[in-house]
Amino acid sequence: MMAAIAAQKEGGQVTLVEKNEKLGKKLYITGKGRCNVSNDADTQGLIRNIPHNGRFLFSAFESFSPQDLCALLHANGCDTVVERGQRVFPASNKASDVTKALEKAMLGAKILLHTQVADLILDGSQVKGVALSNGKTLSCDAVIIATGGLSYPSTGSTGDGYFFAQSCGHTVTDTSPALVPINLRDAWAKSLQGLTLKNVRLTAMTGKKRLFSEQGELLFTHFGISGPLVLSLSSYLVGIQGKIDLFLDLKPALTVEKLLDRLQREVDANPRQELHTLMQGYLPRTMAALFPDLCDIDAKKAIGTLSLAQRRAIAQTLKKLSLTFDGVRSFSEAVITSGGVCTKEINPSTMESKLIQNLYFAGEVIDVDALTGGFNLQIAFSTGYKAGKSAATINFKENK
């Protein structure tokens, strides 16, 4: 949609081909229906939140920034607000208002819904049009592939763009689910399904190498863990071959020594208290009940009878609780796809293919992926704008 808007603005005659019954189906479910449409960061701030190939996007962000996006949405009836972490949302809190504004900005473009592109039509190393799955063809001077990735395939992103790219010689780097929940082997963790922990620190290591260590919110589920912290972590696990060890710091503000001092004071004050009751002062009730077991201590043990080694085990487990990683969830639960059309084969100043003339790429189909916070949509908008604007330097022609 953004590519269409930019191309129209440059005087291009645009045909947007969408296989769904409506435009922007994925947009409706973004940000839990509120659509975290962008992040009000500067270019460097945006790139810092893009673990893979962020530098490739420099020119796209400079050409079409989050502020440009907000101005465009505002001009088309959708005001925006900036929230915690510079996240930008529509003021109405409705993702549908973003789609409406984009549709309004696109006025004049021809939209073919329920229409699927099946293939590219090439003439040597130049694209000449697309073949549709209904047997028709569209001839044109430029084609922009903005088919998304593989995540949430029910919204229409089924990886078709990777096929188109590969069919004309492009490299598609390995794709994997990213910003995705994580499976754990630990039965105790699954039994905590529904429990949210705030302000905990999650660390991932492979051997001695620290892959990730951040503080935030984590949710236990029937399969393992999810929530913002876990989704961010998943982006740093892409392509890691070795064993991954996960640790949870349940008390990031306190050291082991401080925890031991606090335990000592509590033992002195109430030595007959049972351990599981004491733990309720440290953890939510459901977790407090099973925590002594994780330290190999009887939950009903009077705290006055705890040995020093046992107290140390409690403090150390609070600071470094092991979670047993068992892979990430599938594409159907992933917010985005990591991997895609190789950035080395795309001109970052135009989004044009370096292999096929007049072929452009925009959005998640490219091998770029960001953390949560509105960055992924801004990537789609900035690259879409760049591709649309560049492609429209040639006039579109349509011929059914």
Ligand X SMILES: Cc1cc2nc3c(=O)[nH]c(=O)nc-3n(C[C@H](O)[C@H](O)[C@H](O)COP(=O)(O)OP(=O)(O)OC[C@H]3O[C@@H](n4cnc5c(N)ncnc54)[C@H](O)[C@@H]3O)c2cc1C
List interacting residues with ligand X (CB under 6 A): 17-20, 25-26, 29-31, 35-36, 116-117, 146-148, 151-152, 156-157, 160, 335-336, 363-364, 374-377, 380
Between the alpha carbon of residue 381 and those of residues 29, 244, 273, 378, 386, the distances in Å are 17, 34, 58, 5, 9
Q: Which is nearer to ligand X, 31 or 227 (CB)?
A: 31
Q: How far is the CB of 188 from ligand X (least distance, A)?
A: 28
Q: Which is nearer to ligand X, 117 or 278 (CB)?
A: 117
Q: How far is the CB of 201 from ligand X (least distance, A)?
A: 24
- Torsion sign over Cα 192, 193, 195, 197: positive
Q: How far is the CB of 337 from ligand X (least distance, A)?
A: 8
Q: How buried is residue 105: exposed, middle or buried, by Cβ count under 10 Å (0-12/13-18/19+)?
A: buried
- Torsion sign over Cα 298, 304, 310, 316: positive
Q: Which is nearer to ligand X, 167 or 255 (CB)?
A: 167
- Measured CA to CA, the distance from residue 2 to residue 357 in angstroms comes to 21
Half-sphere exposure of 107 (CA within 13 A, CB side): 5
With the CA atoms of 189, 191, 197 and 200 taken in that order, what torsion angle do they form, in degrees rounded to the nearest 10? -10
Q: Which is nearer to ligand X, 224 or 363 (CB)?
A: 363
With the CA atoms of 389, 128, 148 and 92 taken in that order, what torsion angle do they form, in degrees rounded to the nearest 10? 40
Is-contact 186 323, C-beta < 8 A?
yes
Q: How far is the CB of 155 from ligand X (least distance, A)?
A: 6
Q: How far is the CB of 19 from ligand X (least distance, A)?
A: 4
Between the alpha carbon of residue 36 and those of residues 54, 153, 298, the distances in Å are 19, 20, 46
Q: What is the DSSP string of 316-383?
A: HHHH-EEE-EEEE--GGG-SEEE--B-GGGB-TTT-BBSSSBTEEE-GGGBS-B--SSSHHHHHHHHH
Q: Which is nearer to ligand X, 220 or 361 (CB)?
A: 361
Q: Which is nearer to ligand X, 73 or 278 (CB)?
A: 73
Q: How far is the CB of 150 from ligand X (least distance, A)?
A: 9
Q: Which is nearer to ligand X, 143 or 306 (CB)?
A: 143
Q: Which is nearer to ligand X, 270 or 330 (CB)?
A: 330
Q: How far is the CB of 207 from ligand X (least distance, A)?
A: 32
Q: How far is the CB of 191 from ligand X (least distance, A)?
A: 26
Q: Which is nearer to ligand X, 46 or 314 (CB)?
A: 46
- Measured CA to CA, the distance from residue 90 to residue 34 in angstroms comes to 7
* Opening angle at CA 372, ends 155 and 327, nearest 5: 75
Q: How far is the CB of 53 from ligand X (least distance, A)?
A: 14
Q: How far is the CB of 18 from ligand X (least distance, A)?
A: 5
Burial letters 132-158, b for 16+ CB under 10 A, else e: beeeebbebbbbbbbbbbbbbeebbbb
Is-contact 129 139, C-beta < 8 A?
yes
Q: Which is nearer to ligand X, 155 or 206 (CB)?
A: 155
Q: How far is the CB of 366 from ligand X (least distance, A)?
A: 8
Q: Which is nearer to ligand X, 181 or 363 (CB)?
A: 363
